[in-house]
A and B are shown apart, each in its own frame.
Chain A
Amino acid sequence: MAQPLPVEDHLIRMQRDLKRALGRDQAKVRWSMVIDQARCVGCHACAIACVAENKLPPGVVYRLVLEEEVGDYPHVGRRFLPRPCQQCQNPPCTKVCPVTATYKNPQGVVVVDYNRCIGCRYCLVACPYGARTSDFGEWYTRGTAELDGKLVGQKAAAQGYEAAPAAEYSKTWPARGSGSPQGNARKCHFCLHRLAVGLLPACVSTCIGRATFFGDRNDPAGLVHELLGSPRLRRLKESLGTQPAVYYLA
């Protein structure tokens, strides 16, 4: 019996696309995400990977997976809708920020300058997708046991791990509890810190169904550009005119 021909994993192709995009004129790059709902199995691996990558505290979430039951018995099914920030090209959240702390970067990713954000949460109210959350200073490990580490002044238990900041926006942030992003608005940023070193966003790398695709939508040779031609393509709440850069294959 003939063996099936080997098929290249989408991740390999996206990695190649990413390398090519990083080598291009960055002013022409526009990052986009395509999520194939038919491939999503609702495992929530992307949500967990995102929490781990960005060390998100309780109550802060960048990418979650919505679940929906459809049809009438006995013809019923479940549908999953991963919802990262939609990276709108006409973002309602940036216009309302009173201190220009949130803006669209040259590659079309809506970012937050943690050192400028005053925590007014107007952007949270303005986002029609509920994609922004505020960091209220919660801890997973508050109240858990602490042990002295092998190094003097270091703690061995989980709280020490949680206090160490993530590398969001490729910057060094103060230890948790002593400054931003606590008190700030927070949101998905397509893992810009990973892109900067040639890695795909955490949610893309960890998608076991290969349902999340990422790349430069202006690159005609890229996978994302190819998928944007699909007749199954749609965007969330398109009637609002926000022009999301996150697309869904329904």
Chain B
Amino acid sequence: MNDKTFKTVAGLAGLGLVIGAWSLIQRLMYGLNPVAFGSYVPWGLWVAFYLFFLGLSAGAFLITILAYVFCQEKYESLARLAALTVLVSIVCELLFITLDLGRLERIYQFLLTPSFTSLMFWMFILVNAMGAIYTFKLWFMVKGYEAKVRSLSWLSLPVGLLFYGVNGAFFAILLDRPLWNNGLTPVLFILAALLSGGALITWLGWLFRRDQDLTRALGRVVLGLLLAFLLMELCQLVVAWWSGGALARDALKALLVGPNWWVFWLVHLGLGSLLPLFLLSCREAPASRSALACLIIVVAFVAARYAFLLPDLMSLRVQGLEDAFVHMRLSTAYAPNLNEWLVCLWVVSLGVLLFALGSRYLPILEREQGGEHV
């Protein structure tokens, strides 16, 4: 990253941190009082962003696995960049999910009083394990200890697969949640993760390397993943429709024609899927077009995560609940407020700043020398 680009990116991230700090302070001072979600829609924008960063880390994880476990040399040039991406994404994931806790100061309870039957506990363990592995892995990459990098890559393979699988199962096990409660959800999660993360790495690879062939090759992989993801999403909705009954129909109604219909139709399907599909389908198109398609997929993927998360929460488990006791926290209507958006801005800005600093001061863009320093 050259001086000018670095200063611009760091400056923008700094501005985001300053603006977002206002809401972050509100969050830390007043707990979850300044947010718009409530008890019937208990998770909102921050959890959607958590899922978004989860996806980004997964795609980057795949690149490091291809390079160091499956020895695909063409991906080695992107491996350090991918490792940095995984690490920064995990930092953002952890921040989002920690800020979403009603009593975040008790996070140590995960270690003091763990519940081994809870998938959230395993998520906590696995995300921290991934964070630790990738911290060391990046360090060893930078130092050129290739043998250690390969060992850690082998270790990260089962840990990573478990982590991304558990995140899907986290939703799939919930009773009476027709869109989530089926066997397709963990598969959809893995595909979503590979798609968004793969698209990010393709775009970053183009941004930093300008490698036409690699970008085109990755673009084709992303195209395949996009088609597979859309097919799986369709399967999930159809299965829910045919098997879920009234609750499923409520959830689908919230997704397709509810107040946030445009998130699904316009942002996720239109902008985030059909446009990239068109851009990636042109065989003779320049690599820059593939990179642009991937950037669009990444940016719009927040909408895909939002569209996955909200409809099932917005459908009432027991009819009439909203009318029985009226309060804004006991409502299925949810639209993120400014505080939530500004906290997102703060965390994303922090992620961008960390990434800019990493790519500026760590030798992540130097080609692998293949030297052993064990």
Mark the stretch among B58-66, B113-121, B236-244, B272-280 that contacts chain A.
Answer: B113-121
B residues less than 8 Å from A121 (CB atoms): 42-43, 102
B329:A138 contact, CB within 8 angstroms: yes
User: Smallest Cβ distance from B40 to chain A, in angstroms?
Assistant: 6
Please give the number of chain B residues whose Cβ is less than 8 angstroms from any Cβ of chain A in the complex: 48
Interface residues on A, range: 35 or more
- Please tell me which one of the listed residues A59, A96, A137 contacts residue B328 in the complex, with CB atoms under 8 A apart: A59
**Given the contacts A66-B324, A130-B317, A184-B102, A118 and B109 also touching, CB distance less than 8 Å:** yes
Does chain B have a CB within 8 A of A68? yes
B39 within 8 A of A: yes
A66-B320, A180-B103 as given contacts; A96 in contact with B119, CB under 8 Å: yes
Q: Which residues of A contact B31 (CB under 8 A)?
A: 136-137, 182-183
When C-beta atoms are compared, the residue in chain A nearest to B330 turns out to be A59
Q: B102 touches which one: A92, A119, A132, A237 (CB < 8 A)?
A: A119
Produce 1/0 per residue, B96-114, CB < 8 A to A: 0000111110110110111
Which residues from A are CB-within-8-Å of B361?
Answer: none
Instruction: List chain B residues, Cβ under 8 A from A15.
Output: none
- Interface flags for B37-48 (1: CB within 8 Å of A; 0: not) read 011101100000
Contacting residues, chain B, for A47 (C-beta < 8 A): 325
Nearest CB on B from A62, distance (A): 10
Are the CB atoms of B38 and A59 closer together than 8 Å?
yes
CB contact list, B256-311 vs A, under 8 A: none
Q: A59-B329, A126-B175, A134-B38 are in contact. Are A96 and B321 (CB under 8 A)?
A: no
Task: Out of A99, A184, A236, name the residue touching B115 (CB < 8 Å).
Answer: A99
Q: CB of B313 within 8 A of chain A?
A: yes
Complex Cα gap A133–B325 (Å): 12
* Distance (whole angstroms) from the CB of A52 to the closest CB of chain B: 14
- Tell me which residues across on chain B come within 8 A of A59, comparing CB atoms: 38-39, 327-330
A92 CB to closest chain B CB (Å) equals: 5
Chain A 99-151 residues near chain B, CB threshold 8 A:
99-101, 116-122, 124-130, 132-138
**Cβ of B211 < 8 Å from any Cβ of A?**
no
The answer to whether A208 has its CB under 8 Å from any CB of chain B is: no
B5 at the interface (CB under 8 A from A): no
**Are A98 and B33 also in contact (CB < 8 A) when A66-B318, A183-B103 are?**
no
Is A98 within 8 A of B100, CB to CB? no
Check if A45 is an interface residue, CB within 8 A of chain B: no
| A64 located at the interface, meaning its Cβ lies under 8 Å from any Cβ of chain B in the complex | yes
B217 at the interface (CB under 8 A from A): no
Shortest distance from the beta carbon of B109 to any chain A beta carbon, whole Å: 4
The smallest C-beta distance from A180 to any residue of chain B, in angstroms, reads 7
Interface centre among A67, A68, A83, A130 (most CB of B within 10 A): A130
Select one of A60, A81, A95, A182 contacting B118, CB under 8 A.
A95
Contact of B117 among A58, A95, A116 (CB under 8 A): A95
Is the C-beta of A29 less than 8 angstroms from some C-beta in chain B?
no
- The reply to whether A126 and B39 form a contact with Cβ atoms under 8 Å apart is no
Q: Are B321 and A64 in contact (CB under 8 A)?
A: yes
Q: How far is the CB of A211 from chain B (nearest CB, A)?
A: 16
Check if B174 is an interface residue, CB within 8 A of chain A. Answer: yes
| Residues of A close to B330: CB separation below 8 A | 59, 61, 133
Please determine whether B320 and A68 come into contact, CB atoms closer than 8 angstroms: yes
Contact B42 A116 (CB under 8 A): no
B145 lies within 8 A of chain A by Cβ: no
Residue in B closest to A135 when the chains form the complex, CB atoms: B102
Query: Residues on A close to B: CB < 8 A?
Result: 47, 58-61, 64-68, 81, 83, 92, 95-101, 116-122, 124-130, 132-138, 180, 182-185, 236-237, 240, 242
